[in-house]
């Protein structure tokens, strides 16, 4: 049995993953040595996928970890934490992750679009969790940090900050010429 | 991205994954493009993405090939492209554990972290701290201390989190940054506040007096960030657990106050902290139990799960305190989430009586 009081630590997230329709890894990152080798990681992912792909249940306990998840078209998003972790904190990370990816892919959260923009998604993961510590949990801040090329986003969908940034850039260039 | 799209059209319009059958050997050959001038930004980003994808899929890279790719990549520092630079940082971090002599990029990264471009600075700090060792840390200490109190939140957070990663191997250096971290706790930014409080606690952890001062200071002036409050609740409850008479401590009042916080995350953290304290009488648990009872009928599965799991644990030691929730628990027996249903049943087995069996 686990001890009553929780250890206070900034290390919250054990892993983050996106799996496809067949349970194959699209992207996965583990932040501690629960699963040291790629083989063990993939076995865990297989198991996780089998337990979650039909039940739309949002949360599951698996192999002593709390896993929260969400799906969209042909993708499954997961965030894993210790079984003692505050489940609502894990869900806030999952939502930030999902919303950030969704914003970057302009709501087409499906494997094909994701693969086409894999560079941005990799950067987003890097902005959300750093070595197991939640770095940022606000989706618009994450997207801003990733700074995907925003030039083909319609102006109505841009935030004020982005518009100002674009204007600044253009001004800079025109001055340089 | 344009590059990727064209690539796919050429292949055909089917659902081909552009990364499906990529071969390590070919990708590493392609990495030679990094040496060309002028730099083809799109092509380089695409190749870096491929390398990162290979590593992410668990492909084994040998030391020699990783080092070769790493050195080729250092050429890309000549480009000022934002996206490319960020991909280079990410690749540095990923390759830093495999390749040799990665400290070669130290000066480039130091230049970026102190440079004008705000978008570079946070990630440059994180990449730099990943490759740095004890002897080099002294050299960049000054910059890191400055970065902790930087007014740009992503820079400040990056420095605080990196300091935390560096803490274990370099305790004597990092503990000198307490003043800067202290200053960062009063930041307006949620995450900066959370990271700063976390770092302070990790530094002071073993000093009980320092921890008590930390709690006293921040439990009065309320923290803005819900993450920081959760952290403080955990610190406080760990401290409180070693007190003989927890219920009469002002810290217990702090926990109870948090039950009325506006963020559910904090409410739950406080409720869980209270029921887990070992020196409390069952009447002191009541406010926490009633909060958890409310969560039991939430439409969000995670809230129901969190509540029922916590109550399940309480029922093991104090079944009587949980009996008030029996009706709500019975409703969860048919929950769509099987984990919730199972937890509800096992909890009821400890608290239920004959009348509930009939229903």
* B289 neighbors B321 (Cβ within 8 angstroms): yes
- A164 domain residue, yes or no: no
Alpha helices in A2-86 (DSSP H): 38-52
CA B129/CA B331 separation, integer angstroms: 51
- Most B-contacting residue of A25, A117, A135 (CB-CB within 10 A), to test interface: A135
**Max intra-chain CA distance, chain B:** 82
Measured in angstroms, the CA of A17 and the nearest CA of chain B are apart by: 10
Q: Chain B partners of A111 at a C-beta cutoff of 8 Å?
A: 17
Does residue A173 belong to any structural domain of this protein?
A: no
Residue B23 reports pLDDT greater than 90: no
Residues of chain B in contact with residue A25, where contact means CB-CB under 8 angstroms, are 56-58
pLDDT value at residue A163 = 66
Residues B39-60: what's their mean pLDDT? 91
pLDDT for res A145: 84
What domain count does chain A have?
1
Q: Do A86 and B265 touch (CB under 8 A)?
A: yes
- Say if CB A107 and CB B9 are below 8 A apart: no
Nearest to A112 among B15, B165, B190 (CB): B15
Give the Cα separation of A79 and A92 in Å (integer).
10
Partner residue facing A135 (CB), from B161, B277, B303: B161
Cα gap B162→B182, rounded to integer Å: 16
Kindly indicate the confidence band of residue B306, based on its pLDDT and cuts at 50, 70 and 90. Answer: very high
pLDDT tens by residue, B73-88: 999 999 888 889 999 9
Give the total residue count for chain B.
359
Q: How many Å lie between the alpha carbon of B196 and the closest alpha carbon of chain A? A: 10
A92 domain residue, yes or no: yes
Q: HSE (CB half, 13 Å, CA atoms) of B221? A: 8
- Tell me if A3 is assigned to some domain: no
Span A126-136, average pLDDT: 94
B positions 184-223 inside 8 Å of A (CB): 190-191, 194-195, 198-199, 201-202
pLDDT given at position A87:
93
How close A119 gets to chain B, by Cα (Å)?
Answer: 6
Contact A67, A78 (CB under 8 A): yes
CA–CA separation, B352 vs B356, rounded Å?
A: 6
Distance CA A149, CA A159 (A): 14
Domain membership of residue A118 as a residue range: 13-151
Please give the share of chain B, as a percent, with pLDDT higher than 90. 48
Distance in Å, alpha carbon of B90 to nearest chain A alpha carbon:
7
CATH number at residue A85: 3.30.450.60
Q: Is B336–A8 a contact, with Cβ atoms under 8 angstroms apart?
A: no
A156 secondary structure, DSSP code = G
Residue at A167 is within a domain = no
What are the pLDDT digits (tens) for B207-239?
999 999 999 999 887 789 999 999 999 999 888
Provide the mean pLDDT of chain B: 87
Confidence of residue B270 (pLDDT cuts 50, 70, 90): very high
Instruction: Report chain A's C-alpha Rg in angstroms.
Output: 18
Of all residues in chain A, the one with the smallest CA distance to B123 is: A127
Q: Which of A118, A146, A168, A169 to mutate to test the interface with B (most CBs of B within 10 A)?
A: A118
Burial class from Cβ neighbours inside 10 Å (0-12, 13-18, 19+) for residue A49 reads buried
Q: Which of residues 36-95 of A touch B (CB under 8 A)?
A: 38-39, 41-42, 55-61, 68, 86-89, 91-92
Looking at residue A151, its pLDDT comes to 45
Put simply, whether B165 touches A (Cβ < 8 Å) is yes
Judge whether A61 lies within some domain: yes
Selected residue with higher pLDDT from B14 and B162: B162
DSSP tag of A21: T
Q: Is residue A163 part of a domain?
A: no
- Rounded Cα distance, B162 and B127, in Å: 9
Report chain A residues whose CB lies below 8 A from the CB of B49: 118-119, 122
- Whether B295 and chain A come into contact, CB under 8 Å, resolves to no
Domain assignment present for residue A36? The answer is: yes
Look at B277 and A88 and tell me if their CB atoms are within 8 Å: no
């Amino acid at each position: 049995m686990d001890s009553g009081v929780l250890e206070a630590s900034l290390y919250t997230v054990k892993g983050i993953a996106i799996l496809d329709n067949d349970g194959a890894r699209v992207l996965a990152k583990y932040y501690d040595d629960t699963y040291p080798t790629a083989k063990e990681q993939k076995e865990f992912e297989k198991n996780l996928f089998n337990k979650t792909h039909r039940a739309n249940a949002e949360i599951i306990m698996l192999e002593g970890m709390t896993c929260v998840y969400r799906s969209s078209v042909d993708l499954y998003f997961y965030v894993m934490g210790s079984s003692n972790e505050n489940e609502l904190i894990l869900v806030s990370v999952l939502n930030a992750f999902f919303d950030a990816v969704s914003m970057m892919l302009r709501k087409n959260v499906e494997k094909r679009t994701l693969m086409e923009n894999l560079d941005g998604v990799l950067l987003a993961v890097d902005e959300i969790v750093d070595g197991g510590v939640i770095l940022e949990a606000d989706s618009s801040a994450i997207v801003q940090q990733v700074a995907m090329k925003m030039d083909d986003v319609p102006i109505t969908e841009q935030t004020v900050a982005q518009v100002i940034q674009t204007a600044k850039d253009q001004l800079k260039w025109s001055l340089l010429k | 991205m344009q590059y990727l799209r064209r690539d796919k059209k050429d292949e055909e319009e089917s659902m081909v994954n552009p990364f499906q059958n990529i071969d390590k050997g070919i990708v590493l050959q392609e990495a030679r493009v990094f040496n060309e001038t002028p730099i083809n930004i799109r092509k380089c980003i695409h190749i870096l993405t491929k390398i990162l994808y290979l590593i992410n899929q668990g492909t084994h890279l040998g030391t020699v090939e990783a080092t070769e790719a790493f050195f080729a990549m250092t050429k890309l520092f000549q480009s000022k492209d934002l996206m490319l630079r960020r991909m280079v940082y990410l690749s540095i971090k990923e390759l830093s554990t495999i390749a040799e002599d990665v400290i070669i990029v130290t000066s480039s990264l130091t230049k970026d972290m102190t440079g004008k471009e705000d978008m570079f600075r946070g990630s440059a700090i994180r990449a730099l701290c990943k490759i740095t060792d004890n002897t080099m840390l002294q050299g960049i200490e000054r910059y890191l201390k400055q970065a902790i109190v930087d007014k740009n939140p992503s820079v400040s957070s990056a420095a605080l989190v990196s300091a935390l990663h560096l803490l274990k191997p370099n305790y004597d250096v990092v503990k000198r940054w307490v003043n800067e971290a202290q200053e960062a706790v009063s930041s307006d930014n949620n995450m900066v506040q959370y990271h700063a409080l976390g770092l302070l606690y990790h530094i002071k952890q073993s000093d009980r007096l320092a921890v008590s001062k930390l709690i006293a200071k921040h439990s009065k002036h309320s923290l803005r960030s819900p993450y920081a409050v959760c952290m403080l609740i955990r610190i406080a409850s760990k401290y409180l657990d070693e007190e003989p008479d927890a219920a009469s401590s002002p810290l217990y009042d702090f926990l109870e106050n948090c039950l009325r916080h506006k963020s559910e995350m904090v409410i739950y953290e406080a409720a869980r902290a209270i029921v887990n304290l070992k020196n409390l009488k069952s009447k002191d648990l009541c406010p926490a139990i009633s909060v958890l009872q409310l969560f039991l009928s939430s439409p969000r599965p995670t809230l129901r799960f969190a509540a029922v799991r916590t109550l399940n644990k309480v029922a093991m030691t104090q079944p009587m305190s949980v009996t008030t929730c029996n009706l709500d628990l019975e409703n969860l027996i048919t929950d769509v989430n099987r984990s919730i249903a199972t937890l509800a049943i096992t909890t009821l087995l400890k608290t239920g009586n004959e009348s509930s069996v009939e229903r």
